[in-house]
Amino acid sequence: MKGKIKVRELLRLGLPILMYLPIYGIWFTLLEKRRFSHYALIHTTLDDKIPFCEVFIIPYLLWFLYVSGTVLYFLFNMEVEDYYKCFMFLVTGMTLFLLISTVFPNMHQLRPEVFPRDNVFTRMIATLYKTDTPTNLWPSIHVYNSLGAMIAVRHSKRIKKAGKIFSDILGVSIILSTMFIKQHSVYDVLTAFFMAIIFYLVFYHSTVVESFCKKREEKLAFRYE
C-alpha cells in the first residue's frame, strides 16, 4: 500500500516538471529557429582576456546531469521543501530568460574562428557550436541553474558535507566552463548571479514559500499515516 502511495506522490510532485519541460523546450526551440532583424551584441573587455580552454567542455556538458540529477534526487527522496524550492527557483529564472530572449534578442561573437588545437575536446566543442547558436544567451541559464543546484544542495539536511563540497566544485567548474569555451560573456555570468541572488531571497527567505512547503509536507505525511 505504501508503495502505491509513494508512486502516486512521486507523480503528483513530478507533475509540474512534466508540464513545464515541454513548454520550455518548444519556446526555446522557436527562439533558436527564428531569425530576428536585430540582435544586441553582448560583450565586455574581460571576455577578450579569458583564454580559450577546451577541456572545460567536460564540466559544461555535465551541467545537464548535475541540474536534473539534483531535482530528481529531491523528488525521489520525497524531500518536499528542497524539491519545491529548487524547482520554483529554476523555473522562475528559466521563464524570465525566455521572456528576455523574446523581447530582447541577443548574441555574442566570442567563439574562435579557428581552434588553437585539434583534439577530442575541440571536436566536442565544434559539435556543440553546430547545434547551439550563439544567440539567446543573456542571462546565462547554465550559470543560473548551476547556482540553483548549488543552493539547493547546500540547504539540504539529507546531503552530507562531502556531497555539498562535490556539488560546489562541480558547480563552480560549470560556471567557469561557460566562459572558457566561449559560450557566454562575463556579462551573462554576472547577471545570472544577480538574478540568482534575487530569487534566492524570494524562494529561500519567504514566509509564503515556507508556508506552502510546510503544507505540502503535512499533506504527504498525512497520506502515509
How distant, in Å, are the alpha carbons of 25, 45, 57, 109, 117 from that of 48? 32, 6, 19, 11, 18
* Contact call for residues 31 and 102 (beta carbons, < 8 A): yes
Summarised one tens digit per residue, pLDDT across range 145-171 is 999 999 999 999 999 999 999 999 999
Taking the whole predicted model, whether its pTM rises above 0.75 is answered as: yes
CB atoms within 10 A of CB 139: 25
Q: Which residues have C-beta within 8 Å of that of residue 209, sequence separation ≥ 6? A: 84, 85, 88, 202, 203
**Region 62-69 average pLDDT:** 98
Average pLDDT across the chain, whole number: 92
Percentage of residues of the chain with pLDDT beyond 90: 79
**Number of other residues whose CB lies within 10 A of the CB of residue 121:** 17
Question: Which residue from 49, 93, 62 is spatially nearest to 182, judged by alpha carbons?
Answer: 49
User: Which residue has better confidence, 68 or 3?
Assistant: 68
* Residue 18 per-residue DSSP state: H
pLDDT at 185 (0 to 100):
98
Average confidence (pLDDT) over 208-225: 75
Please check whether residue 64 is in contact with residue 168, taking contact to mean a CB–CB distance below 8 angstroms. Answer: no
Q: Are 118 and 87 in contact (CB under 8 A)?
A: no
Q: pLDDT tens digits for 79-94? A: 999 999 999 999 999 9
CA distance 170 to 60: 10
Which grid coordinates are listed for 185? 560573456
Work out the end-to-end distance of the chain between its first and last CA atoms, rounded to an integer number of angstroms.
11
